[in-house]
Amino acid sequence: MQKTEQTHSKEASLEGEQLPTTKGFTAKLKSVNKYRCAAGFGVISIALYAFLYFYNTDLTHIAQATHDGDKTWFFVPIVIALVFSLIHGSFTSHFWDALGVKAKS
């Protein structure tokens, strides 16, 4: 009876934090998610650079046309830069996080 009470009090003291088994599982899950996020954004980032490679002639044509006076697509470089910053920025953030390079908490 006394032993049961002690077990209960031990669990209660850990209630604020989580039980060791749950804590370990959450940490493991977070760690797996961390790698998945890095890999996911990495794949999208590579896809974006592949897009840039395959459409590089079209992008050059757009720049040339803009320079020659047709301003229809002048915003394309700005949109590309913004999209890359969001996707590649997320990838690089998760990349360093997965490697353990994190800010001081």
Partner 1 sequence: MFNIVILFVVGFIGGMVSGFIGSGGAFVLTPAMMSLGASGIVAVASNMAHKFPKALVGSIKRHKYGQVDIKLGIIMGVFAEAGVFYGKEVMTGIRATYGNAGTDLYVSLVFIVVLALVGGFVLRDGIRLKRSGKGDNEFETPKFAQWIQSIRIPGTMVRFSAIDNKEVSILFIAPIGFATGMLAASIAVGGFIGVPAMMYILGVPALRATATELVVAFIMGMGGTAFYAWEGFVDIRLAMIILAGSLFGVQIGAIGTTYVKEYTVKFVMGMIMLIVLVSRLIKLPVYLHDLELISALDPILIDILNKLSFATLALALISGMLVITSALIKGMMEHRKDTATEIARRGYEQDLAVTTAES
Residues that bind partner 1 (CB under 8 A): 6, 9-10, 13, 49, 52, 56, 59-60, 63-68, 71, 74-78, 80-82, 84-85, 88-89, 91-93, 95-96, 101-104
- Shortest separation between residue 63's beta carbon and partner 1, angstroms: 5
- Shortest separation between residue 33's beta carbon and partner 1, angstroms: 18
The residue among 33 and 76 lying less far from partner 1, judged by its C-beta, is 76
CB-based contacts of 93, cutoff 8 Å, min separation 6: none
With vertex at residue 26, the alpha carbon angle to CA 44 and CA 99, rounded to the nearest 5 degrees, is: 45
Length of the chain, in residues: 105
- The 10 Å CB-count burial string (b at 16+, else e) for 53-84 is eeeeeeeeebeeebeeeeeeeeeeeeeeeeee
The residue among 39 and 80 lying less far from partner 1, judged by its C-beta, is 80
Task: State CA 77 to chain mean position distance.
Answer: 23
- Shortest separation between residue 46's beta carbon and partner 1, angstroms: 10
The residue among 6 and 22 lying less far from partner 1, judged by its C-beta, is 6
- Shortest separation between residue 92's beta carbon and partner 1, angstroms: 5
